[in-house]
Amino acid sequence: MEAQQTFSRFCPRHPALPPPSHKKFQILPCVVPKNLGIQRLCCSYTPGNKKRVFCVSRTVVDEANKVKGEAATPVRRKKLAVFVSGGGSNFKSIHHSSLKGSLHGDVLVLVTNKPDCGGAEYARNNDIPVVVFPKIKDGSDGLSPTELVDALRSLQVDFILLAGYLKLIPVELIRAYENSILNIHPSLLPAFGGKGYYGMKVHKAVIASGARYSGPTIHFVDEHYDTGRILAQRAVPVLANDTAEELAARVLKEEHRLYVGTVEALCEERIVWRDDGVPLIQSKDNPNEFS
Ligand SMILES: Nc1nc2c(c(=O)[nH]1)N[C@@H](CN(C=O)c1ccc(C(=O)N[C@@H](CCC(=O)O)C(=O)O)cc1)CN2
Ligand SMILES: NCC(=O)N[C@@H]1O[C@H](COP(=O)([O-])[O-])[C@@H](O)[C@H]1O
User: Over the stretch 13-48, which tens digit does the pLDDT of each residue have?
Assistant: 334 333 433 333 333 333 334 433 334 434 444 455
Asked if 219 and 228 touch (Cβ cutoff 8 Å), the reply is yes
Q: Which residues, other chains included, contact 70 with Cβ-Cβ below 8 Å and sequence gap of 6+?
A: none
Please state the length of the chain.
291
Q: Looking at ligand 2, which atom is closest to the CA of residue 84?
A: 12
Residue 188: CB within 6 Å of ligand 1? Answer: no
User: pLDDT value at position 234?
Assistant: 98
In this prediction, residue 104 carries a pLDDT of 98
Q: 218, 251 in Cβ contact below 8 A?
A: no
Backbone angles phi, psi at 227, to 5 degrees: -110, 0
Which own/partner contact pairs does 284-290 have at CB distance under 8 Å and 24+ positions apart? Answer: 287/16, 287/56, 287/57, 287/59, 287/60, 287/63, 288/16, 288/17, 288/18, 288/56, 290/54
Site residues for ligand 2, CB cut-off 6 Å: 84, 86-90, 119, 163-164, 184-186, 197-199, 202, 252, 255
**Predicted ipTM?**
0.98
CA distance 191 to 214: 9
The whole-number pLDDT of residue 68 equals 72
Ligand 1 in reach of 25 Cβ (< 6 A): no
pLDDT for res 88:
98
Buried b or exposed e, range 32-58, using 16+ CB within 10 angstroms: beeebbbbbbbbbbeeeeeeebbbbbb
CB contact set of 45 (below 8 Å; sequence gap of 6+): 25, 26, 28, 52, 53, 54, 275
Cis before 134 (ω within 30)? yes
At 19 the pLDDT is: 41
pLDDT of residue 216: 99
Under-70 pLDDT residues of the chain = 1-67
